[in-house]
Amino acid sequence: MLVTSIVTGTSTSTRTSIKKMSELVKAMEEMSIQATELKKLREKVSSLEIDCKLAQIQQKEEVKKNRRMGEIIKVLEKDLTLQKPLGDMKEIIWSSIIDSINDVWPSIQVIFEQTKLVKVAIEAIHKTLEELGDKPEEANQLIEFLNSRNKYQLDELEIEDRIGTIIEIKKVPTKRNLMLNLEKRCQSIQTDIDIFMTKFGILRGKGLPSPIVIHDKLMTQDDYIERLNKLATSQASTLGVKALPTRKVLYDSLENIFFIEHEVKHLFVNRPNFSKYTEADEIYRKIIRIKLPEI
């Protein structure tokens, strides 16, 4: 009985141990499966991280590539707009314009000196006109009267020196004739000035800077050349024309400075000198020296 009980107990214990062992084995198998899956997940995550890093690297490379392409495109766009050749051409043309300005500058100075004389002379003409009034007509009548009287008649009028009196009276028509002559000379000089101003006004409309500062005063040659050099540099560095330009577009972009270059070289058909100035100034000085007699 006791033996049977012991055997029975041992059998039960063995079955329990086997069951626990079986459960342990099963648990270990499940852990092994989970470990395998975890390993796969880790490998997948690692692969994704690698892919992500590769994608970032590729993205950076793509950005760099796009930047390089953008720079290349900008260079090509500049080439297509002819920015550099047009800039070089403008620089050459402006250099020619500046050389021509240096060549004609003495003539421009002559024009402005004559402008001052004309202003002074016109003031003298207006003053002389007021001073003369009706005296020219009266002087002619007096001269005719004196020439038609004999010595005795002149003695009665207490005129001792016929010739001296006539010479004094003749200052009136002399001053009038000088005034008319000065007016004629001034008109001739003013015509030359107007022609120059008209031509230069057209050049200014095409883009040539004015050489005048304030109160119609001519700036110095060095200052004007410096202004032209700054303008030339500015125009040479400006954008070109639209891509694939037509001949008309190219012509329009250079028309003004080509016009300036040509016209500056031919600004004076005949170079002005001081011959008219000298004659007018001489007449002006004679006018201001003549004191009119009382008539």
Higher pLDDT, 97 or 32: 97
Most confident of 40-54, 122-136, 246-260: 122-136
For residues 165-182, give the mean pLDDT. Answer: 94
Amino acid 235: pLDDT: 81
pLDDT digits over 193-227, tens only?
Answer: 999 999 999 999 999 999 987 777 899 999 999 99
Amino acid 199: pLDDT: 93
Q: Which two tokens mark 146?
A: 């004196």
Amino acid 3: pLDDT: 42
pTM of the model: 0.62
Rounded-to-integer distance, Cα 33 and Cα 12, Å: 31
pLDDT digits over 241-291, tens only?
Answer: 454 556 676 667 778 999 999 999 999 888 888 888 899 889 999 999 999
Which of 211-217's residues contact partners 24+ apart within 8 Å by CB, and which partners? 211/108, 216/112, 216/115
Amino acid 6: pLDDT: 44
Evaluate if residue 182 carries a pLDDT over 90: yes
What distances in angstroms separate CA 188 from CA 168, 185, 279, one per listed residue?
A: 31, 5, 11
Place of tokens 């050749």: 85
Q: Which amino acid is located at 84 in the chain?
A: K
Name residues whose C-beta falls within 8 Å of residue 291's C-beta, 6 or more positions apart in sequence: 171
Residue-wise burial string across 176-210, b where 16 or more C-beta atoms lie within 10 A, e elsewhere = bebbeebbebbeebbebbeebeeebeebeeeebee
Evaluate if residue 21 carries a pLDDT over 50: yes
Amino acid 42: pLDDT: 78
For residues 53-80, give the mean pLDDT. Answer: 68
Most confident of 14-28, 45-59, 154-168, 219-233: 219-233
Amino acid 7: pLDDT: 45
Rounded-to-integer distance, Cα 80 and Cα 3, Å: 112
Name residues whose C-beta falls within 8 Å of residue 238's C-beta, 6 or more positions apart in sequence: 87
Q: Which of 140, 139, 159 is nearest to 149 (CA)?
A: 159
> At what angle are helices 162-169 and 171-205 packed, to 10 degrees?
20
Q: What is the CA radius of gyration of the chain?
A: 53
In DSSP terms, 218 is beta-bridged to 212
Please, are residues 287 and 127 in contact by the beta-carbon 8 Å criterion?
A: no
Amino acid 2: pLDDT: 42
Mean pLDDT estimate for the chain:
82
CB-hemisphere CA count at 13 Å for 36?
A: 6
